[in-house]
Every structure is written in structure tokens, then in C-alpha cells.
Chain A
Amino acid sequence: MDVIILQLLNGLDKGSAYALIALGLTLIFGTLGVVNFAHGALFMLGAFCAVTLQKILSLSFETIDPTKTDFLGNPAKIKTPYIESWFGPELGSSIIDWSVPLAILFAIPIMIGVGYIMERGLIKHFYKRPHADQILVTFGLAIVIQEVIKQFYGANPIPTPAPDAFRGSFDFGTLLGFDPNVVIYPYWRLVYFFFAALIIAAVFGFLQFTTFGMVVRAGMADRETVGLLGINIDRRFTIMFGIAAAVAGLAGVMYAPINSPNYHMGMDFLVLSFVVVVVGGMGSLPGAVLAGFLLGILESFSSMNEIKQILPGIDQIIIYLVAIIILLVRPRGLMGRKGVMED
């Protein structure tokens, strides 16, 4: 039972990332009709916003310490972060320690800006082109973005730890009547889950309860009619592209402490996220979220030793297997709408 609870928590955690990326993908597809293969790169850029802020906060000046030597036997250069010299060692190191949560504020304007530039600068020229062209150009863009990141940050993963306050694990089992230390779960992964839930709720709330959101939903349902009413739907959709980029970016920022960011982390999530979107139903926001969590949980359970002993290798194919079954049974996906990508 403890293993099942642990895998359920793992599934919710993985599902959080899938759902956030798939939500952004669906927002872009639903509004602009663009299949954005660069969306994984936006997730990666978000993680590198956290890396960048950590590096900025850790910018240091060097002093020579004649009592120590470096690897060549020369007097050692001691690095002291500027922030520690300005605010004192204690407050300075605390600010650096909290660089990942602080990166949320840093990432939002950057990611909206990146999304806006991407849409205005490149993707808008492909609205009337076939989906294959859109896929090619956005996939190419993803490769360019990741190579730029590799050029600046290298190919190795860069450790970006969570604040000290969130290190360690929460003893979930004691809440459920288990012995201590039987069902423990990392604090930061729980934070990630709640953060994802908050962002998803915020996006839905924005679309549901604001005038802007209402217009966007109307545009998603019938773009032409909304345009005929004199509303500049294109401008709103561009803003939605920026918001979708910010959602992917925030998913990346908060993911940085879970797995050290590297330049190809976006590609690792991209294919899975597209499967999530297809399983959820192209253009369906609730479908994307539902499928994200569903596939995350299934992927976690399929990694269990008990399952792998019966079906070796199932953990590698489960997502695609479920996608095939769902598409056979429900060709439009779990919550897909009629007419989307069917013309």
C-alpha cells in the first residue's frame, strides 16, 4: 500500500509538469491553431531563468588569499558574492539560497517577452501555412534555442537547488496512519504539485472570469465572428501566446531543483507533452490537464517492480500504449471537440 501511495504522489508530481506544458501547448493551438514544437524549449528557458538568476545573484569579486593555493600551486583566488558584501554574509547567502522562488518574478516578464517576440517575429508568418510547415519551423526554432543555451551554459546539467527550507522530505505516511519514514515525499516536489495546481487554476480563472478571457474563449470557438464584432482578436491571441510561454517557463523555473537543468531538457518533455495534448483532446484545456495527470500517474505505476516483472519494459511504452488505446476508443481524445484538426 505504501508503494502505491508513493507512486500516486510521483504520478501527480510528474503529471504536474506534463499538465503545465500541455496546457500551454493547448492554449497556443486552441487560440492560434499553431502546433508549437518549440514549447519544450520554452520550458527549458524557464529553468534557465532560474539558473541565470542564481548566477547573477552569485556574481562575485575575487581576492587573493596567499595562504591557500590553486590547482597549479599559485595563490588561490577567493570568490565572494557581491550580494554578500552588500547585505552581509547571512542575508546575502539567504537571497542566493532563495534564487529559485525569486526566479518566478524574474521569469514572468522574460517569458512573456520571449513568447511575444516568437509569435510576432516568426510564428505569425506561418498561420496560414500547413501544420507540417508549422511543426518544421517551430522544431527548428527549438533546436536553435537549445543550441544557444548550450553555447552559453555548456552541455552539463547545472545544479540549481531549492531553498534550504524545502530540502528533505515530508513524512506523508504518519498522516495516513503508517509508521514513520514509510511514506516520505520530498518537500519541493510537493511544492511543485501545489504550484502547478495554482497556475492551472489561475489560467482557468483568467479565461473564465475576466472579459479578456471571455473574448479569448469566444475567439477559440469562432474566431471569424469575434473579428466581425470589431474585436482585435489577433492581439489578444498574441498575448495568450505570451501567457502560454510564461506558463511553460514557470513550470521550468520550479522544475530546476527537481532535476538539474540542461539544454535538452525541453526535448525530453516535448514528445510526452504532445501525447498528453492528443490524449486529452486537441484544443481542450481541461483535457490537457486531465491527460497530464492521468499519464503521469500511469507512467509512475508502470515503473513499479511488481508491474515490470509481469510486463518487462512496460514503463517505456505505457504512455504510447495508452495513447493508442484512447485514440482507438475515442479518436478525438478524452475531451476533444468536434471539428478540431478534422478538416
Chain B
Amino acid sequence: MSNSNFTRRGLLKTSAMAGGALAAPTLFDGSVWADAHSGYLNAPTGSTVTLGFNVPQSGPYADEGADELRAYELAVEHLNGGGDGGMMSTFSSKALQGNGILGKKVEFVTGDTQTKSDAARASAKSMIEKDGAIMITGGSSSGVAVAVQGLCQEAGVIFMAGLTHSNDTTGKDKKANGFRHFFNGYMSAAALAPVLQARYGSDRTAYHLTADYTWGWTQQESIQAATEAMGWKTANNVLTPLATTDFSSYVAPVLNSGADVLVLNHYGGNMVNSLTSAVQFGLREKQVNGKNFEIVVPLYSRLMAKGAGENVKGIFGSTNWHWSLTDEGSKAFVKSFGEKYGFPPSQAAHTCYVQTMLYADAAERAGTFNPCGIVEALEGFKFDGLGNGATEYRADDHQCFKDVLVVKGKDNPTSEFDLLEIVEITPRAQVEYAVDHPMFAGGELGKCNPGA
């Protein structure tokens, strides 16, 4: 006698179930759409989909925020089939058709980050909970980016970072639901250091003034490591409070410190004021150790450089993108933006426009707004035609890897927008780093959160 439960009836039942399972995709075709568009937070049910643009509309970065918002509005116009389509025609992915995203018309709501972490989280939360935003994007500060990225991870929506340059955003504070197109402090340093060495030599002593918050710390750490690797010495690193307006007390000690380079790890108003103080104190006319004293601003912003006026002339720095680039993507974007608004876009506007396009494209390719589908579509995504050459969203940390621009303040500007000139386009390979690099270690990407 056999103890086996195997019977002819059992075989038939098992076969029927297996066959049914295999046939399910075709038998239940109508439910596939429903499955793809439910089971996650703020799944759009009508004919529209809502994006949340969280930018500084008040506070010191309000002008940069206004430029971000212009770019977002342009992106929405292009996604919905309006205007000249901008970079949609140059984007290597052809998933976007100008009929919204997945056939749904794109609408948007805006929030004011005020460049304060708590205010930015509150406005993002409101857009997610009250307005049903499926994705949050924007910002002009790393402190804000880290805070909002954390919120989006907890809530279960995608965060497409705006202007954030701290290593931490895709380093120790990286999150599965967060993506950064903008470059970071490490990349700035890796691109700048060889240019500085070529111009100023290897026998230099640098004095750092550093904004006392996450971006300043990581920027300083990066540029110090990169310049020391090429032979420079570091005389001092002085942390300056973010609220400082008069930097004379911090600049004066530089005069007789023995340093012959001042590195200003400052952004925005801090950068304008510290650079102005340094120039007022005659540092640029000074000779130390038989060499001309030099000033370096690792992260440039054209909008902010305007505030420093003539003081930026000849000073090296780096930037994520510049309107004078001549690739087809940049030209298309500058044309769209310039014709609509009358002036060229900033790097903040560029990264925000590109992030919106990348999100929309990912949703189209994934066939869903489900954050986990978006994450899967963006991880390891390689693309071109968006202004930075060949680019990849690295799967391990959700950081975009691409060429970096080394720029310097233009000596003879031809217009009020013509403040920076591109000195070098540093190739991606030179600014790339391992995902477990010590400057980025300490955090876990975790798993995507669909929020429901």
C-alpha cells in the first residue's frame, strides 16, 4: 500500500490552478491598471495628477525659489503639451508624449519652505495630506532637503530634491524615496582641485571659512581632502554662524595666518558678504610667501554671484549647470525659459525642471505613480539630452553622476547674466566615488515606501 496523497483528481485540480495562474495576466487584464493605480498614497483617481513644488517663496533664498517655480511651471506646461516642449525633444528617453503623465493632466500646488526645515516639512506635509500631492520637489538648502526627504520617506511619496549640495543628502541621510539630480560637495572638490593645482600650484596653504551647518561641513571636508591630496596644506578651518552678516572679524585673522588661499565654504548671502569682506580687506591684492593671494568659492550660484558684483571676477568655483552651455538640451531649455521669462535660467531652475521631467518619465516607463515603481524606474537609469551630458541615477544612493562644471567669475561680462565663464567640464569619471566612501557612509537607503 502506498501512503502517497497523489490522486488523479488532485492532479487535475492542481493543473487547473496552475493554468489559471499563468493565464491571469490575460484573463484579468482590466484589473492590472487598477492594481498599478492603487495601494499607494495619493493614487490619482481622476483625470489629473498633482505635483507638490516646495520652494523658498519667502526668506533670503526667495529669488532662487522664484526661479525654481518658473522652471516647474515651464515643465508642467511642457508635460501637458504646451509651449515648445523644451527638453522633451532632446531627452534621450522618449516615453513622454506631451499628454500629461500616464494620460493624466499635470496640476501642481506650491509650498513655501522659507528655507527653514520645520516650515518646509509643514508645507510638504500639507501638500501631501491636503492637496494629495504624489511627489514633492524643490528647495534651496541641504538642511531643508534632508528634512523633507525624511518626511517623504515616512509619508510614502517620492522626493525629487531641488538645489542641495551637501554630501549627506545622498550620503548618511539618503532615503529610498529620495533622488538628487544636483551635484554635491565631493564632486565640486574633485572637479575644482586639479584646476586649482594647475593655476595656483601644489605649494599652497589654505584657510577655510565654513558655514556652520550640514552643507558647510561636508563641503569643507571635501575640498580640504581634495586639495591636501594634491599637496596643499590647511592653515585653519573656522566655522562661521549661519546668521553672520559682517564677516570682517573672520576675515581679518586670515591676513597674517600664513595662508595664501582663502576658501569660502559659504553659499547665498553668506557667500556674498564673506567675499565682499575678503575683497575689502585687500586679500586679492596681497602677496604671501611670494605668491598672489587667491580666493576660492567651491559652490557658485549665478543669482547670488550677482549680489557680490565685481568681487567675483576671476574667482574659481563650480556649478551644476550654466545657461551658456551649448549642448542641444541646454539650448532648448534656455530658449524655452528665456522666451517665456525674458532672462536665462539659473542652475536651480535647471535642476528643478530636469527633476520634474525625470519623475514624469519614470512614471511613464513604470506605468504607475506607485513610488516603488518610480524608484525601480529611476534606479540605474541612464539618460542624456538634459543639459549635463550622459548621466546616471546610481541605484545605490540615488545620486546622479554626470560631468561637473568648473567656472570662474568673468572678467569682462557682456550682460548682467554673463557673470561666470566655464573653465572646464570635468568628466564624470573624475568626480565619481564609491558608495561606501567615508564621506558618504553611515546611512541606509532602506526600502521604498508606497505609503499605503
Closest partner residue, chain A, to B273 (CB atom):
A259
Q: Are A268 and B245 in contact (CB under 8 A)?
A: yes
Q: Are A303 and B249 in contact (CB under 8 A)?
A: yes
Question: Would A155 and B280 be within 8 Å (CB), given that A72-B335, A299-B249 are in contact?
Answer: no
Q: Are B276 and A150 in contact (CB under 8 A)?
A: no
Q: Are B249 and A168 in contact (CB under 8 A)?
A: no
Q: Are A315 and B286 in contact (CB under 8 A)?
A: no
Closest partner residue, chain B, to A168 (CB atom):
B282
Q: Are A300 and B62 in contact (CB under 8 A)?
A: no
- Per-residue CB proximity of B229-253 to A under 8 Å, as 1/0? 0000000101001010110111011
Q: Which one, B98-106, B306-314, B359-367, is touching chain A? A: B306-314
- Cβ < 8 Å to A, chain B residues 389-429: 414-415, 417-418
Question: Would A258 and B280 be within 8 Å (CB), given that A71-B417, A159-B308 are in contact?
Answer: yes
Write out the residue numbers on chain A whose beta carbons fall within 8 Å of the beta carbon of B63: 154-156
In the assembled complex, A293 has its CB within 8 A of some CB on chain B: no
Q: Which of A10, A14, A155, A265 gathers the greatest number of chain B CB atoms within 10 Å?
A: A155
Question: Would A10 and B249 be within 8 Å (CB), given that A76-B415, A155-B60 are in contact?
Answer: yes
Q: Which one, A93-101, A178-186, A235-243, A325-333, is touching chain B? A: A178-186
Write out the residue numbers on chain B whose beta carbons fall within 8 Å of the beta carbon of A260: 272-273, 276, 307-309
- Per-residue CB proximity of A232-266 to B under 8 Å, as 1/0? 00000000000000000000000000111010110
Question: Would A157 and B272 be within 8 Å (CB), given that A6-B255, A7-B252, A10-B248 are in contact?
Answer: yes
- Per-residue CB proximity of A181-198 to B under 8 Å, as 1/0? 110111011000000000
In the assembled complex, B304 has its CB within 8 A of some CB on chain A: yes
Q: Which of B236, B281, B338, B343 gathers the greatest number of chain A CB atoms within 10 Å?
A: B281
Write out the residue numbers on chain A whose beta carbons fall within 8 Å of the beta carbon of B282: 168-169, 184, 186
Question: Would A258 and B338 be within 8 Å (CB), given that A155-B59, A155-B62 are in contact?
Answer: no
Q: Which of A157, A181, A186 gathers the greatest number of chain B CB atoms within 10 Å?
A: A157
In the assembled complex, A340 has its CB within 8 A of some CB on chain B: no
Q: Which residue in B60, B248, B311 is a CB contact (below 8 Å) of A264?
A: B60
In the assembled complex, A85 has its CB within 8 A of some CB on chain B: no
Closest partner residue, chain B, to A74 (CB atom):
B338
- Cβ < 8 Å to A, chain B residues 324-365: 324, 334-335, 338-339, 343-344
In the assembled complex, B151 has its CB within 8 A of some CB on chain A: no
Q: Are B310 and A161 in contact (CB under 8 A)?
A: yes
Q: Which residue in A6, A14, A154, A155 is a CB contact (below 8 Å) of B246?
A: A14
In the assembled complex, B31 has its CB within 8 A of some CB on chain A: no
Q: Are B252 and A10 in contact (CB under 8 A)?
A: yes
Q: Are A184 and B276 in contact (CB under 8 A)?
A: no
Q: Are A169 and B281 in contact (CB under 8 A)?
A: yes
Closest partner residue, chain B, to A11 (CB atom):
B249
Write out the residue numbers on chain B whose beta carbons fall within 8 Å of the beta carbon of A268: 243, 245
Write out the residue numbers on chain A whose beta carbons fall within 8 Å of the beta carbon of B285: 168
- Cβ < 8 Å to B, chain A residues 65-117: 68, 70-72, 76
Write out the residue numbers on chain A whose beta carbons fall within 8 Å of the beta carbon of B415: 70-71, 76
Write out the residue numbers on chain A whose beta carbons fall within 8 Å of the beta carbon of B236: 305
In the assembled complex, B256 has its CB within 8 A of some CB on chain A: yes
In the assembled complex, B61 has its CB within 8 A of some CB on chain A: yes
In the assembled complex, B108 has its CB within 8 A of some CB on chain A: no
Q: Are B307 and A159 in contact (CB under 8 A)?
A: yes
In the assembled complex, B183 has its CB within 8 A of some CB on chain A: no
A314 CB to nearest chain B CB (Å):
11
A72 to B333, CA, bound (A): 11
In the assembled complex, B303 has its CB within 8 A of some CB on chain A: yes
Q: Are A315 and B245 in contact (CB under 8 A)?
A: no
Question: Would A316 and B241 be within 8 Å (CB), given that A71-B334, A156-B303, A157-B269 are in contact?
Answer: yes
Q: Are A68 and B273 in contact (CB under 8 A)?
A: no
A112 to B303, CA, bound (A): 34
Q: How large is the interface on B (under 10, 10 to 19, 20 to 34, 35 or more residues)?
A: 35 or more
A157 to B61, CA, bound (A): 10
Q: Are A259 and B245 in contact (CB under 8 A)?
A: yes
In the assembled complex, B179 has its CB within 8 A of some CB on chain A: no
In the assembled complex, A3 has its CB within 8 A of some CB on chain B: yes
- Cβ < 8 Å to B, chain A residues 1-53: 2-3, 6-7, 10, 13-14
Closest partner residue, chain A, to B57 (CB atom):
A155
Write out the residue numbers on chain A whose beta carbons fall within 8 Å of the beta carbon of B61: 155
Question: Would A72 and B249 be within 8 Å (CB), given that A156-B306, A158-B307, A260-B308 are in contact?
Answer: no
- Per-residue CB proximity of B251-294 to A under 8 Å, as 1/0? 01101100000000000010011001100111001110000000
A6 to B344, CA, bound (A): 42
Write out the residue numbers on chain A whose beta carbons fall within 8 Å of the beta carbon of B243: 268
Write out the residue numbers on chain B whose beta carbons fall within 8 Å of the beta carbon of A189: 248, 280
Write out the residue numbers on chain A whose beta carbons fall within 8 Å of the beta carbon of B369: none
- Cβ < 8 Å to B, chain A residues 298-314: 299-300, 303-305, 308
A57 CB to nearest chain B CB (Å):
16
A303 to B272, CA, bound (A): 19
In the assembled complex, B300 has its CB within 8 A of some CB on chain A: no
- Per-residue CB proximity of B58-71 to A under 8 Å, as 1/0? 11111100000000
In the assembled complex, B323 has its CB within 8 A of some CB on chain A: yes
Closest partner residue, chain B, to A188 (CB atom):
B280
Closest partner residue, chain B, to A153 (CB atom):
B63
Q: Are B280 and A315 in contact (CB under 8 A)?
A: no
Q: Are A3 and B280 in contact (CB under 8 A)?
A: no
A47 CB to nearest chain B CB (Å):
12
Q: Are A3 and B309 in contact (CB under 8 A)?
A: no
Q: Which residue in B277, B281, B339 is a CB contact (below 8 Å) of A184?
A: B281
Write out the residue numbers on chain A whose beta carbons fall within 8 Å of the beta carbon of B252: 3, 6-7, 10
Binding site for A on B (CB under 8 A): 58-63, 236, 238, 241, 243, 245-246, 248-250, 252-253, 255-256, 269, 272-273, 276-277, 280-282, 285-287, 303-304, 306-311, 323-324, 334-335, 338-339, 343-344, 414-415, 417-418
**24 A–B contacts from the bound complex (CB under 8 Å):** A2-B255, A10-B249, A10-B252, A14-B248, A14-B249, A71-B323, A71-B338, A76-B414, A76-B415, A155-B61, A156-B304, A157-B308, A159-B276, A159-B308, A159-B311, A189-B248, A258-B276, A259-B272, A260-B307, A262-B307, A264-B60, A268-B245, A304-B249, A315-B249
Q: Kindly list the 9 A-B residue pairs having the minimum CB-CB distance in the complex, ordered from nearest.
A: A159-B309, A303-B249, A157-B307, A155-B62, A169-B282, A186-B280, A6-B252, A156-B63, A300-B249
Extra contacts, 4 of them, besides A161-B309, A259-B273 (Cβ < 8 A), are A6-B255, A13-B248, A159-B308, A260-B307
